[in-house]
Amino acid sequence: MVKDLKTKTINELKNIAKKLKIRGYGKMTKKKLAESIKKSEENTSRLNAKETKTDLKAEKREEIKEKAPTSNIDDGQSMISESKYITGYSVPKPCFEENFVFPANYGKNNIVLMIRDPYWMYTYWNITEEKFSEIRTAYGDDAISNSKLTLRVKEITGQGPENPNEVFDLFPPIGTKNWYVNIAKPNSSYCVEIGLLLANNEFILIARSNVVHMPLFGPSDIVDEKWASLIDFEKIYALSGGFDTGKSSGELRKEMVKRLEQSLFSGASGAVTSFGKKKQSGKSEKTFFLVVNTELIVYGQTVPSAHLTIQGRDQKLNHDGTFSVRFALPEGVQEIPVTAISEDKEDTITITPVVTKETR
C-alpha cells in the first residue's frame, strides 16, 4: 500500500487524504501524507471488521459510527505527533531557554539594599570564592573558620557610611545570600555592609551597599509657610482617609494608622481579577459532593439537501446529512418532533421521540 502511495504525486496524496478526512493534510510533507493515509486506511478496515461482526442492527451501526472508538484514539495520537511536523519541518532546535540555569553568582563581590516598606529593607549579596580565599590567605584558616558572616546595618541620616548614627549586626547563616532587615526609624537613611566578623571582633568588609532613604510613615512635621493651613490639618488628614471627623485628633491618627495597615490597601491591586481564573466557585473547599445533570442527544441522518426541524426550529445539517443536537433535559415529559422535508417539498417525514425524566 505504502509502495503504491509512493508513486503518487503530492497533490494526488492530498486528494486521498482529503477524502479520508485526515486532519492537517494541507501542511504535511509527502512522506508524512503517505504514512497518515496508510494509518487511516488501517483504521477504517479495523472499523469495518467490527461492523461486520456486530452484524448490522441499524441503531448499533449508528452507535459505532458515532463513537468510532478506535479511530478517535488514533486520531488524537496522530494529532499530537503531527504538531511536531506542522511547526518545524526540520528537527526542532534544542530549546536552550528551558535548560538555562540562573547563575548563582555573577562573579562579583557586591551587596544591594532595597526598601520594602517604612520598617523593612531587603538586601542581597554576592561573594566570590576568590574573595574568600583571598581573605583566608590574609588572615589564616583558623581566623576564617571562627568568623561569622555578618550583615552590618548602619543608620547614616545626614552622615557618611564612616560616621553612622547607629550600627547593629545581623548574622545570617553561612551560605545565605539575602536577608530582610527590620529597622526602627522610618524617614532615615541606611546602608548595609557584608563581611566577616572575626573572633577578636575585627570586621572584614567585603562589600558595602547603596544608601536608601526609608519612607516617612505618618504626616510630615514640616509645614511650608506659603501653604500653612488655616484649617485643622488633622481634620483634612482624617477626611482624606474617610474618617468620622467628630473624633479627637489622637483617635483619628490612630485610626488612620490602622487603616493604613489594613483595609486601605487590601484588595487595592485589582490585577488579581485579570488572572483569577483558577478558583472555581469554592468547590474545592468541599470534601465530598455529588452533582448529577442529564442531557439528551438527538441525532440522526437524512438527505443532505433536506430541510430539517426539531421541535419546529430549523436545524442545520452536516455535509453528509447527519445532525446531532444536545439538550439540557429538565424534569417531566418532552415531545421532540423531528421533521425532514425534501428539497422539492414533496416528501415529509416526522419522527417524534418522547422522553420522560424523573429524578428520585
Partner 1 sequence: MSKGYLALMFHAHLPYVRHPEHDFFLEEDWLYEAITETYIPLIEVFEGFEKDGVPWNLTMSITPPLAEMLSDPLLQERYIKHLNKLIELSSKEIERTRWQKDFQHLAFMYKDMFIRAREIFENKYHRNILTAFKKFQDSGHLEIITCGATHGYLPLMDINPHAVRAQIKIAARNYEKHFGCRPRGIWLPECGYYPGHDRFLAEEGIKFFFVDTHSILHATPRPKYGVFAPLFTENGVAAFGRDVESSKQVWSAEEGYPGDHYYRDFYRDIGFDLDFDYVKDYISPDGIRKMTGIKYYRITGESEDKAPYEPQIALEKAASHAGNFMFNREKQVEYLYDVLGGKKPMIVSPYDAELYGHWWFEGPKWIDFLVRKIAFDQDTIELTTPMKYLEENSKIQVSTPSMSSWGYKGYHEVWLEGSNDWIYRHLHEAADRMVELAKSRPDSYGIERRALNQAARELVLAQSSDWAFIMKTDTMVPYAIRRTREHIARFTRLYEDIKRGTIDGEWLNDIESKDNIFNEIDYKVYA
Q: How far is CA 255 from CA 60, 219, 231, 311, 346, in A?
A: 75, 13, 20, 65, 83
Among 59, 97, 162, 346, binds partner 1 (CB under 8 A): 97
- Please, what is the minimum distance in Å from the beta carbon of residue 114 to partner 1? 6
List the interface residues with partner 1, window 121-160 (CB under 8 A). 122, 124, 126
In the complex with partner 1, the residue whose CB is nearer, 123 or 147, is 123
Instruction: Round to whole Å and give the CA distance between 178 and 181.
Output: 10
- Distance, CA of 219 to CA of 83 (rounded, Å): 61
Select the residue interacting with partner 1 from 11, 90, 163, 266 (CB under 8 A).
266
Using the minimum distance from each CB to partner 1, give the nearer residue, 137 or 350. 350
CA angle 334, 339, 341 (to 5 degrees): 170
Nearest to 164 by CA among 146, 188, 184, 135: 188
Q: Which stretch binds partner 1 (CB under 8 A): 45-53, 55-63, 94-102, 156-164?
A: 94-102
Q: Is 90 in the site for partner 1 (CB under 8 A)?
A: no
Q: Which stretch binds partner 1 (CB under 8 A): 34-42, 118-126, 151-159, 193-201?
A: 118-126
Structural contact between residues 239 and 255, judged by C-beta atoms closer than 8 angstroms? no
Q: Per CB under 8 A, which region of 4-12, 112-120, 143-151, 345-353 contacts partner 1? A: 112-120
In the bound complex, what is the minimum distance in angstroms from residue 217's beta carbon to partner 1?
A: 7
- Distance, in Å, from the CA atom of 45 to the CA atom of 57, rounded to the nearest integer, reads 19
Nearer to partner 1, 245 or 348 (CB): 245
Between residues 142 and 232, which has the closer beta carbon with respect to partner 1?
Answer: 232
Give least dist CB 18 to partner 1, A. Answer: 21
Distances in Å between the alpha carbon of 354 and those of 51, 265, 293, 358?
29, 59, 19, 13
**By CB under 8 A, what part of segment 202-261 binds partner 1?**
210, 213, 215-224, 226-231, 233, 235-237, 239-242, 256, 259-261
Q: How many residues bind partner 1 (CB under 8 A)?
A: 85
CA distances for 20 relative to 43, 242, 295, 336, angstroms: 11, 70, 31, 34
Contact call for residues 11 and 28 (beta carbons, < 8 A): no
**Full DSSP string of 63-93:** HHHHH-HHHHHHHHHHHHHHHHHHHHSSPPP
What DSSP designation does 189 have?
A: E
Distance, CA of 81 to CA of 22 (rounded, Å): 14
Residues between 271 and 310 with contacts to partner 1, criterion CB under 8 A: 271-283, 286, 293, 295
Question: Applying CB under 8 A, does 319 fall inside the site for partner 1?
Answer: no
Nearer to partner 1, 7 or 220 (CB): 220
Note the maximum CA span of the chain.
110
Stretch that binds partner 1, among 25-33, 91-99, 139-147, 301-309 (CB under 8 A): 91-99
**Residue 258 C-alpha from the chain's centroid:** 34
The residue type of 92 is P
Q: Name which of residues 323 to 342 contact partner 1 (CB under 8 A).
A: 325-330, 334
Q: Of 117, 130, 343, 347, which lies in the binding site for partner 1, with binding defined by CB under 8 A?
A: 117
How many residues in total does the chain contain? 360
Of residues 47 through 86, those in contact with partner 1 by CB under 8 A are: 83, 86
Q: Residue 268 CB, nearest distance to partner 1 (Å)?
A: 5
| Residue 100 binds to partner 1 (criterion: CB under 8 A) | yes
Closest approach, Cβ 150 to partner 1, in A, equals 20
296, three cell numbers: 439528551
Query: If we measure between CA atoms, which residue out of 326, 345, 347 comes closest to residue 336?
Result: 326
Interface mask toward partner 1 for 169-208; x: CB under 8 A? --------xx------------------------------
CB of 162 or CB of 285, closer to partner 1 = 285
